[in-house]
Amino acid sequence: MTWLKAGAAGLCNSAGMSTAIQPAFTSESTIGDLVAARPLLARFFEKLGIDYCCGGKQTLAAACARRGLDVATTLALLESAGALLAAGPAEVDAAAMGQAELADHIETTHHAYLKQELPRLVEMAHRVATKHGWRDSRLAEIDGTVLDLANEMLSHMQKEEAVLFPLVRQIAAGAADGFHCGSIANPIRQMEAEHESAGALTARLRELTDGFTPDAEACNTHRALLAGLAEFEADLHRHVHKENNILFPRALTQAAGR
């Protein structure tokens, strides 16, 4: 587990932690709750390859079992990382935001980033596949997968901004849960399913690109594409976490109380 300790040490040197009241680490803590309370632990879980966004509802014990990690060791590293995360700049504390503020934050931060970045990634993927597909057959699939991912995410964001987020704001403001399906649960389930699909496409891109790593013959556009995809993946994890583990559960709780 030496590599695990090294990863945690690297995180501790560059991360901040939330000042909110934070739950104790236990094997039955859910990954999403831990990251909601300590946003910078997202980097720790990324190092371990633990899904904290779409997989945020799984317990730490279940996540460790899936990754073949020792639970006791991981708990000890989490405690160590949590104690040292006070150094450095703080991550945005999404859990401290109100529902309307969080929806606004997601739109102005993650949605705005995607609307600007996705067309650029699509263009680069197509250019690289067209010019260099002869030497790497995977480039054609990368091109198609990036296009599918961009189309899915743009449609997904449009639905959130036109339907789900306005409803979240209305419920947070005290309005009755008057969505035509009778509940906000239905659109939330649809958005979560689309998050799963986007995550699967992104995982496929990671596999096709050897972890977004360029080979010696990669041109500058290819290298820029891989760097952009790696940045996209990191942003997607934070984006989906804020929705699946914070915004959506709160909305369901608030709607149930109407």
* Residue 170 domain flag: yes
CB–CB of 74/26 below 8 Å? no
Q: Average pLDDT, stretch 99-114?
A: 96
State whether 104 and 201 are in the same domain.
yes
Amino acid residing at 6: A
Any idea what DSSP says for residue 89? Answer: P
pLDDT value at 5 more than 80: no
Distance CA 81, CA 32 (A): 17
State whether 182 and 140 are in the same domain.
yes
How many CA atoms within 13 Å lie on the side-chain side of 170? 13
* Residue 232 domain flag: yes
**Quick check: pTM over 0.95?**
no
State whether 120 and 142 are in the same domain.
yes
Domain limit, last residue, from 56, 84, 112: 84
Distance CA 103, CA 164 (A): 10
Per-residue confidence band for 181, with pLDDT thresholds at 50, 70 and 90: very low
State whether 214 and 103 are in the same domain.
yes
State whether 192 and 229 are in the same domain.
yes
Per-residue confidence band for 115, with pLDDT thresholds at 50, 70 and 90: very high
State whether 141 and 169 are in the same domain.
yes
H or E segment and range at residue 115: helix 112-132
State whether 154 and 37 are in the same domain.
no
State whether 204 and 243 are in the same domain.
yes
Predicted local distance difference test score (pLDDT) of residue 71: 86
Continuous H helices in the chain: 2-14, 31-37, 41-48, 60-67, 71-84, 99-105, 112-132, 138-159, 165-172, 185-208, 220-242, 248-256
Per-residue confidence band for 111, with pLDDT thresholds at 50, 70 and 90: very high
* Residue 90 domain flag: no
Predicted local distance difference test score (pLDDT) of residue 256: 83
State whether 191 and 112 are in the same domain.
yes
Q: Average pLDDT, stretch 111-117?
A: 95
Per-residue confidence band for 15, with pLDDT thresholds at 50, 70 and 90: very low
Per-residue confidence band for 138, with pLDDT thresholds at 50, 70 and 90: very high
How many CA atoms within 13 Å lie on the side-chain side of 193? 6
State whether 71 and 104 are in the same domain.
no
Residue 173 burial class via C-beta count within 10 angstroms: exposed 0-12, middle 13-18, buried 19 and up: exposed
Of these ranges, 2-11, 34-43, 190-199, 211-220, the one predicted with the greatest mean pLDDT is 190-199
* Residue 93 domain flag: no
Other CB atoms closer than 10 Å to residue 76's CB: what's the count? 16
For residue 131, what are the domain limits?
98-256
* Residue 92 domain flag: no
Q: Average pLDDT, stretch 243-254?
A: 94
* Residue 126 domain flag: yes
* Residue 155 domain flag: yes
Distance CA 225, CA 212 (A): 9
List pLDDT tens digits, range 141-177: 999 999 999 999 999 999 999 999 999 999 998 875 4
State whether 138 and 194 are in the same domain.
yes
Predicted local distance difference test score (pLDDT) of residue 16: 35
State whether 225 and 252 are in the same domain.
yes
Predicted local distance difference test score (pLDDT) of residue 195: 97
* Residue 89 domain flag: no
Angle between helices 71-84 and 60-67 (to 10 degrees): 120
Predicted local distance difference test score (pLDDT) of residue 137: 92
Q: Of the ranges 52-66, 91-105, 114-128, which one carries the lowest mean pLDDT score?
A: 52-66
Distance CA 182, CA 216 (A): 56
The number of distinct structural domains making up the chain is 2
